[in-house]
Structure formats: structure tokens, C-alpha cells
A and B are shown apart, each in its own frame.
Chain A
């Protein structure tokens, strides 16, 4: 077994530590959790897109045998705080809402009551008995309808249905456009899709009646943010009680204030950057004064509360998420509130119909883009106007507002865009919540790479040349993007493009395509290039929202030598398929010189893992968790060697560690193990808790951070009689820095590409014109199977660097770039028919319509 050989594990296809458990059916996903005296929840949901609730009659449901409780919106308003947005940017309106609807429902599936019963099936039986009297209202099913004159307002305080409007200008855009040789303009639309992990959302709220403590078993990407969100929203006290408790526990707010002061002192730029936020917060308060009370209740109450009243979150195996489990859902909050209210453990596992309807939708954006050009194809400037259909209820704690900022900052990609204007509009509609989905900002890459092909065809320049003329090359680095972030010397997007063109034999393509067409075959080839902030250069977050940077915080970890000589890595990451139990162990084992089996990765348990609101997401874990474990393990090694030097009566500098054996160079037989060091550490009076010998607590700010980049090349063949598109070949050339585990990196890339292929050819969340939901089963929402997904060739480029822990994320890129490469290939296949692709969903019907084979 190669894993047993200590030494260089990083960079090898180490087999996953997780697999022995997961491949034998011994995993513990949230639906596998059974706790004593557990009841089951089901939701009563709106069948209407938009309606007023006249009345709810729960009497029959409550009488139904086996029903424990039926809780409505009115009950929830009495026992919880509302969801209140955590984001403050100019032009934002944050709706105030509760986990259950009370007076109005705003999309099909909007929860109006929760039924708790002895089994899920009885809860569903009783749900059928809840009678809701609705008065239907006109629904808003698209952003176009939402912005039309006389459109009904979805939120009282946002009569124009605008949740966010602002504009950013970088440079003298008007002057550049006035002087340009050419301006090319196009509108692109991306349809609504959904993450759809194979495991839906779910939660088991375990109430220990004896102790009053609550453990929340959850499928979440961020255990700590779920914990604090639940605590914050369930802490419904009167203002008087809050203040009284606050005074009784004066030390806590004092400590909090001291902490904030220290943070500000350490980050003077935050004071500066944070100031505009204060103004925005004040404006939000003026618009909706209840917000002040809500925040006061939540914050003050929270600070004063005893620890025992807060839940602890336990996340174990998670069946995928792709972003949607980064949100704290209204259902999770309602189940938590219900369980606490009735004093009994409650399980809720979302079914697939619910997950399709309300479990999180994504994309659904439109961008109007104009590019100013010189006659030789050099880009002079760009204008882009984003309209994002955010659905009714914003995702908590972050969603459309945040992702719109990333779209703006990232739209230049790796290209020289000297000036830019970016207008942002987020619209409310009667649709389900817009959430993070693998590269939530991906529309910037799709639109830019589509637009480059449009420009190339309009200007009769090759699609390779238009990119090569505008992409930033190594000789120009480092250089800032027009939107702020720095492209450092490791940016290799151009190298990936050149390599991909070479692998694809791009120059020979036009002739090959014509030859095939003459033989009756319709072929296309598409190329697309991008960069991804994974995690981005220092200051990246500041470019998104000034003042946000220091609030996100660094990546913490504990690296612990246990009494028995084993090493524990305790991380805030909450892996859900990424294999962190393996990769973080690889990193720690290499630093320490121990076999991988000597390292255990602990995650998902808020009672032991270090605090961070981030969890796993944003392609951050390789760089940040990989980094913090590197440095934490390095620090532990130092302490271990200090003690070992004493025990071996040798100079530290003469010691080496091989396969967990610490010895003087050349005398492995006289070495000692980590257990001996641990025993000595404990003898010396270790201050580490429990059975630990040495505990290192490390934090890492991401260091130089950096970018992942890639170029994808996609080949398609189109049957012009049936509109079916097949993908005979797909090539990825990427650079994510040093690779911890190639099998895991390749798996992330392939999985992302598969989701991109799915979005373009198969998957679409559909509402009809009246806002009725159309895709509630897996026979409507089509996840591609093994037959539909092509084999994917992956080529790695690695730019040499001396930067320690030169790891960058790779989780999202496949999904960001694949729709661009695939739609570019489809346009290429149909270009001889005059087809221009401006939409992303291209099922067989649409292909034949575009090709003029059938009428629209």
C-alpha cells in the first residue's frame, strides 16, 4: 500500500480515507441519524405563485392520530426572529421574512405550516388536512415581468421589485466608447438551474429533555454559521429581557466590544472601508425601521444568552451540496423552532420534489454587454448590465447580492479590459430562492467567452487570435485587473490557452470542419478561458465589498499530537465529497513525517472545531485549509523535535523524521516514535485539553492566495434531423498550483464539467408564465447519466513558484467554464447557418429552431 510509505504524499493519488466507510454503507448521512423519541416533520406549502393567505385551519390536522404539533406562520412570528440580511451595500433592500409565510405566499412551495408527527408519512397525511384559504394575486414569473410598469410588488418596501441596484465605473468609459473603431453589443440570457446534490437537505434537531441542550445534526457546508444563525433567530426575547440579561452578563458584550476594537486596530483599512457600510446600514434602517428592533433582539439577546441555550451543530457525511447547503434555509429554521417549542427531537428530510421546488435555484441572469474595439481586435473597454432574477426570498446569510459583486469584479477575466462600467440589478420575482451553485458568478465567464466568439465572427478574426491579442501574458505580470484584484506572476491563463490550442490542433480545425460537413457531418469546436479567485489575491474581498475583507477572517485549524502519538487535524471545513479527510491528512503527514494513517481529520462538530463562518465553499479549501494545516503541522513538528532532541540527547538539527520514527540522521534503529514524545509532553505538564499532548492553534490569512486558471476545448457533433448534440471529445488544460491529490483534482474538474454539460443540454428549472412550477421530479429536471457525459482529457500546467503551500482551489472551475466551451462549440457547428447563440439552454428543440429546421 503506497499510503503506508511516509514521505511525499502530496502530489500522489493517495486512496481516500473516507472510502472504507462510504463504500461499505457505513457512512452517516443526516437521514441515517435516529435519536430517541424522534418525531418527523413535513411542510404545508403554497400551491400558488403569489397569494394572500386569508386563513389557515389546522384543526383537522391537529386531530389526526399521530400528529404531535402543527405550527403556522403566526406561531413562528411569536417564537422566532425574522431572517435579516447580513450584507450592507449601497442600493440594497433586504426583505424581512420568517421561516414560514404568514400573510402572503410568494412562490410555489412557500412553506405556510409545519406538521410534526410520529412518522413522515403521518405528517404528510396530516399536511393534506391543513386547509389554507388563499386569495390569488397576480404573479411575477420573470425579471421582465417584475420590472414592467404596474407589476405587483412582491415586497411592500420594494414597490419596484428592485432588491439591488448600483453601478460601478472604472475609467473614462464614455470617452473610450466614443473613440472606438467598433462597438459590438449583444444580450445574453442564462436559464435557471439547480444544484441537485444526490442527498437533499435535511436536519435532525435532537432535544435532550433532561439537560435542555440541543444538538443539530445537519447537512450543512458551514456548521458554525448554521449554529449561530439558528441561535440568533430563535433568541426571541422582549427587549426588556434582553437588556436585563445584557446587564446581568456585562462581561460578554464588553469582551465583544474589546474584540471589535482590537480588530479595527489591527486593520486600519477596515475603519476606512467600513465607513460607507455604516451609512448603508443606517439607510436600510430608515427604510425598514423594524430592522433595528430585529437586529437589537437578535444581537443583544444573543450576546446575553447562556451557552447552554445555543445549539451545537454536528455534520457528518454529506451527500453533496455544490453551494446550496451553504445557505441556512427557512425550513431548517422552522424545524429547529418547532423542536425547541414542543421540546422533542424532530427530523426533517427534504424529499426530491421539495428539493427541486425550494431547495435552491441558481443562475437565471441576463447581461447586456457592449465591447469597444480597435480594428485589429484589441479590446478598449466594456459595458455590462446585469439583471439577476433573485426569486422571492433572498438566501441567508449570503446570496445574490454577494454573487453580483463577484460577477462585476471577475468579468474582465484574464484579459486586458482598460475601462469598464458594470450596472447591477437584482430583481424579486415569485420564484424560489436563488442560491450559490458551483461558481455562482459563472455568468461573467460565459458572457465574456461567448462575446469573444461573437466579436471574432463579426470582425473576421480567428477565435484563437481574438483571445491571444487580449489575454494578459507572463511578461505583463504582475498587473491589476481594472476592477482591482492583482494578477500575480503565477497567472498562467495564457499558457493554458496556448497549450489547449496546441492540443486541439486549432489551426487545422476549419479545414477539418468543412471536410466533415461535405461528408454530411455537422461538427463544432469551442474554446474558452478563465481565471478563478481560488482564493484570490490579498485584498480580493475588499474589491467585492469595501469593509468586508477583514470580516471574513482567516482560516483556523488545530493540529494536535494526541497522547497515543496520533495526530489530529481539527478543521472548520465541512467536506461534502471533496475528500478533506484524505487531502488534509496528506499535507499534515508530509510536514510531520508520519504515515497518513497516523493523521485523523476532525470536522463538522461545533463543540470541537475552530470558529469560522465560512465552512467549505468558494474553492477555498485547498489554499486556505491546505495552507493552515501546512503551517500548523510545521509548528507542531518544531515542538515535537524540541522534545525529541532532549529525549535522544541530540541536537535538533541532526534529527530526521521518517515514517513516524524520529532519529539522528543515519541511526533509525535508535529512533523514537511520536507516542514517546507525547508522553514526555504530558509529563512536562501539557496545557492541551483532554487526551492531547501538544495542541497547535494556527490561523492563516491565505498568504499570497492566487488564481486558478484553465482553458477548455469542446468538440460537438449535431444531428440536424433530431437536434441531438453529442460531445465526442473534451479537453481541459488547467493550472491550480501544486496538486495535493491528482485523483481528487481531476474528479473535481470532471464533476464540474459534467454539471456544465447538464446545464446546457439537459437541465432547466421551469416556471410557466403564471409562476407555476414545472419541474418537480427527476423526470422533468434531467441530471445527465453516464451515457451523456463525455470522457474528459485533463492536462495540467504548473507554474513554478517558491511560495509555500502553493495550493489553489479547483472545485468550481469546471462548472464555470464548461457552458462557455460547449455553447461556443455549438455556435461553431451552426455558424454556417448564420446562427448566433445568445442563450445557454440548448435542448434538441432549440437546436432545430436555431438551425431553421423547425418553426419556433
Chain B
């Protein structure tokens, strides 16, 4: 894992509050030192190169940065990286198994879920967290559960179609689409 020069330079500055951080990301234990004011999203993107987690608003409304923290969906822009000390994080990069797409990804692809797809990682991780605990939501429940994620391209119908198909695929226990 490369450390960007940003962190190196930051450590030269006088009143920079550096904190140690150990946490698990997509199954790998990461040990680094980060400035306390950096968000989880920034550290995932800039220090760990996991740029699939997108920053859309940085104030917790758009949901593009949603990741899974200890099993629950959370906004990575509203968490300081230092807050997830000891936690286990899942990002969009962990969803597919090598070349095999996750059923949620496969269903979204089949249904043209997204267009520009900048919001997609947030939707997919929100949905993953939901389906891990609630495997059979209705379309209306999905609409409600996904309402914390903004999409500006699609009008949401294709995302809901994909989400419903993902539910069916997971229920059927199949991995194809």
C-alpha cells in the first residue's frame, strides 16, 4: 500500500494531530497513521487507493460514500477515520468475487440500474447491508431503504428494478442473472 506524499508532508507541519489507526478493510488489516480530521472516505480513497467510494456532498446527504462498517451501512464522509479504529469496513471493491459479479451487481447490470454511476457504489453498499439482514424486502421497502441515496440520472426506476431482481436472485440462491 502506498502512502501518498500528503500524509508525509502533513507530518512536517507543526500543529497536525496525527493518530494511529488499525482497522480491517475488505478483510485486510491496515495499520497507518492519519491526521485526525480526515474522514474515513478520504483515507479509503487517498491512502488505500480505494477510489470506488465516492464523495458527492461531504455533508451526509447524497449517500455516494456509503460503506459498510461492522455490518451496518454508514456514510464514510460523516465518520472520522480515527473513529473506525478496530472496525471492519467493506467497500464496493469487495463486492465482486474476482471476475464474478455479486448478484446485486449482476442484477443492476441486467436492468441498466445506473447511468453515470457515480452514485452506484453508495447504492450497492446500502443494498448489500440491507439484504444481509433483510433478504426479502418489497419494492416499496426498497424504495424507502434506498431513499437516503441520491441519483441524478435515472429517476430511480431502473435502480429499483435492479434491486428487486437482486432480491429474487439471492432468494433463488443463484449467482447468475
A complexed with B = yes
Q: Quick check: is A783 within 8 A (CB to CB) of the other chain?
A: yes
Segment of A238-246, A302-310, A318-326, A538-546 in the binding face: A318-326
B4 at the interface (CB under 8 A from A): yes
Residues of A within 8 A of B25 (CB): none
Q: Which of A774-812 contact B (CB under 8 A)?
A: 777-779, 783, 785-787, 789, 791-792
A residues whose Cβ falls under 8 Å from a Cβ of B: 13, 15-16, 18-20, 22-29, 31-32, 34, 37, 65-66, 118-119, 121-122, 196-199, 317-320, 322, 351-352, 576-579, 743-744, 746-748, 750-755, 777-779, 783, 785-787, 789, 791-792
List, sorted by A's number, 24 A–B pairs whose CB atoms are closer than 8 Å. Answer: A15-B109, A16-B112, A23-B117, A23-B124, A25-B92, A26-B52, A31-B45, A34-B4, A66-B9, A118-B9, A317-B117, A318-B116, A352-B56, A577-B115, A743-B112, A746-B158, A747-B115, A750-B157, A751-B115, A753-B155, A778-B57, A785-B148, A786-B146, A786-B159
- In the bound complex, what is the Cα–Cα distance between A28 and B154 (angstroms)? 20
Given known pairs A352-B58, A785-B147, the reply for A196 and B152 (CB within 8 Å) is yes
Question: Chain B 6-18 against A: per-residue CB contact (8 Å), 1 yes, 0 no?
Answer: 1001101110000
Instruction: Enumerate B98-124 residues with CB–CB distance to A below 8 Å.
Output: 101, 105, 108-121, 124
User: Cα distance A319–B144 when bound, in Å?
Assistant: 24
8 Å CB contacts to A: which residues of B52-82? 52-59, 61-62, 64
CA A13 – CA B50 in complex, angstroms? 31
Asked if B136 is an interface residue, CB under 8 A from chain A, the answer is no
Question: Contact partner of B156 among A196, A197, A748, A754, CB < 8 A?
Answer: A754
Q: A29-B54, A744-B112, A750-B158 are in contact. Are A65 and B37 (CB under 8 A)?
A: no
* Cβ A579 vs Cβ B115 within 8 A: yes
**B10 pairs with A118, CB closer than 8 A:** yes
> Known contacts being A118-B10, A750-B154, is A19 close to B147, with CB within 8 Å?
no
Please indicate the chain A residues that have their CB under 8 angstroms from the CB of B35 in the complex: 121
B95 at the interface (CB under 8 A from A): yes
B170 on interface, CB distance cutoff 8 Å = no
Of chain A, the residue at the smallest CB distance from B117 is A22
Which residues in A have their C-beta under 8 angstroms from that of B117? Answer: 18-19, 22-23, 27, 317, 319, 577
Which A residues are in CB contact (< 8 Å) with B114? Answer: 19, 22-23
Knowing A119-B10, A198-B64, the reply to whether A783 touches B115 (Cβ < 8 A) is: no
Return B24 CB to nearest CB of chain A, in Å: 18
Complexed CA–CA distance, A385 and B157 (Å) = 38
Chain B nearest CB: distance from A758 CB in Å? 9
- A19-B108, A320-B116, A320-B118 given as contacts; is B150 within 8 A of A24 (CB)? no
Given known A-B contacts A23-B114, A24-B95, A747 and B152 have beta carbons under 8 A apart: no
A29 to chain B: which residues have CB within 8 Å? 51, 54, 118
- Assembled-state Cα–Cα distance A820/B91 (Å): 41
B30 interfacial by beta-carbon distance below 8 Å: no
Give every chain B residue within 8 A of A196 (Cβ-Cβ). Answer: 152
Q: Report the count of interface residues on B (CB-CB < 8 A).
A: 65
Number of A-B contacts (CB under 8 A): 189
Select the residue from A23, A197, A783 with max chain B CB neighbours within 10 A. A23
Let me know if B48 is at the binding interface, CB within 8 A: no
Q: Do A199 and B112 have beta carbons less than 8 Å apart?
A: no
Q: Which of B4, B12, B53, B155 has a CB less than 8 Å from the CB of A750?
A: B155
A66, A119, A786: the one within 8 Å of B147 (CB): A786
In the complex the two chains form, is A785's CB within 8 Å of B115's CB? Answer: no
State whether the Cβ of B143 lies closer than 8 Å to any Cβ in chain A. Answer: yes
B59–A31 CB distance below 8 A:
no
Residues in A whose Cβ lies below 8 Å from that of B159: 786
B153 within 8 A of A: yes
Whether A24 pairs with B101 at a CB distance below 8 angstroms is yes
Task: Name which of B101, B117, B121 has the most chain A CB atoms within 10 A of its CB.
Answer: B117
Q: Which of A16, A22, A37, A197 has the most CB atoms of chain B within a 10 A radius of its CB?
A: A22
Closest to A355 in B: B57
What's the nearest-Cβ distance from chain A to residue B152, in Å?
A: 5
Partner of B6, one of A26, A119, A322: A119
User: Of the candidates B51, B59, B118, which one forms a contact with A197 in the assembled complex, judged by CB atoms under 8 Å apart?
Assistant: B118
Nearest 4 interchain pairs by C-beta: A25-B52, A319-B118, A577-B116, A754-B155
Is B96 interfacial (CB-CB < 8 Å)? Answer: yes
Tell which of B91, B115, B144 touches A25, judged by Cβ atoms closer than 8 Å: B91
When the two chains form their complex, are residues A199 and B118 in contact, meaning their CB atoms are under 8 A apart? yes
Does the CB pair B160–A786 fall under 8 Å?
yes
Q: Is the CB of B118 within 8 A of A747?
A: no
B85 within 8 A of A: no
Contacts of B109 in A (CB 8 A): 15-16, 19-20, 23
Partner of A31, one of B9, B55, B149, B152: B55
